Structure 1
Amino acid sequence: MLSFLAKHPTHTRNAHNNPVIFDDGRSSIEFKSPSDSYLVINRWPPAASDAEVASEKVPNKANCALAPPLHWHILQKETFHVLEGKAEFTLDGRELTATAGDVVTIPARAFHTFRNASEEEGLVIEFSLAPSTRERDEAFFRNVQGYRDDCRKAGMQRRLPQVLLFNWRANVVLALPGPKLLAKVMGLLMNFVGGLLIGKWILGYSDTYPEYYHKASL
């Protein structure tokens, strides 16, 4: 094991927090009761303007660490319910806009992402995956978002093997460019080789950290 090559940000202890606050208070995730049909509520700040992105005053167009890259789920469908604001979804190359009250369902294995579509208003959106994987999904969101925000605070780039290892555990796969079938195969290989083999077995990264998640936080 070459764990001395792995680089970690200081982990913020937020496993007991609900909601969990990110981006210096601009965004958050809040986990709902296990009896609720939805898993988590995301709160996003207004989208950044092109000028703000160009000047590097904000991390990206979404203006927060919650912005997911284009990705897909091996087995799960996702259901999104917009509570406040306006969301822009990318679904297999199509752009969809949803406003308060709208429900958007993403089929399993569909390439997708979403962001706040408004530069004036915040976005509040709740979503769920499969009830049977609720515990694993909460662990994934807490770890991924905690790690992203801690890297932001430390001024360091996220390490790809760590990200891929989180994805490996949750059956989440990055949507790579190219023909879709080939992109899916390569994405799965990236999770296995980059996440499990390199990330966990060689560099010693973990797929969950106690500072971010433990079962008692449910």
Structure 2
Amino acid sequence: MNSQLTPPLIVVGVDGSEPGGRWAVRQAGLTGARLRPVLAWQLPRTWGMPADYSDVDLLIAFSFADADLTLFLTDTNGQVTCDEDFVFYNQPSAARGAARLLCKQPDGPHTVERAALHLASLPAHIQRVAIAVNMDVDTGLTCDALTHASLCMDCVTGTAWTFQPPADPDVRAMSIAELYRHAVNGQPVWKAPPDAADATDRPRSIP
């Protein structure tokens, strides 16, 4: 039987103030405890982080019809250069997981489907990301069957957009929003075209 006991551990947060640290040192000396100082820091949401370290979460919600979220990873000309740059229900991930569909499930009266983009990990040849919705081919329905449809995009910095696709009876698939690479003062940023969002929330650069 091992009679050796593990000495107690005191974990103390270090934030630049002295009282907590002094107490921890004194208490460790009195009890023979080990001392583990911990310093934690979280970037504020308003911090000017480069675009290539941003994550974007996508959520589309709709009612009364089945539809699928689709991502087209394209070059400067808006062309998908290979099959791997097409993200849909049969291929839910691309660019080693930098663009991926997460899940589709009921949420009250709506169906919601989620996706995620990690812009930093997208290959250099991908200059644009088109976010589209397409109806289930087997139903024969068009986009006018989508009711209360909306696409929400949330950036890790707190920036958010909401898009409301039109109920178009003439199409079975439509592009709802687009992100594209841009340079500002020599620094890379991702942007959404100004005419892509509704008037209540104009798109801005993703910091």
TM-score (norm 2): 0.29
Q: Higher strand fraction: Structure 1 or Structure 2?
A: 2
Larger Rg: 2
Q: Higher helix fraction: Structure 1 or Structure 2?
A: 1
Give the structure, 1 or 2, with the largest relative contact order (CA under 8 Å, sep 6 or more).
1
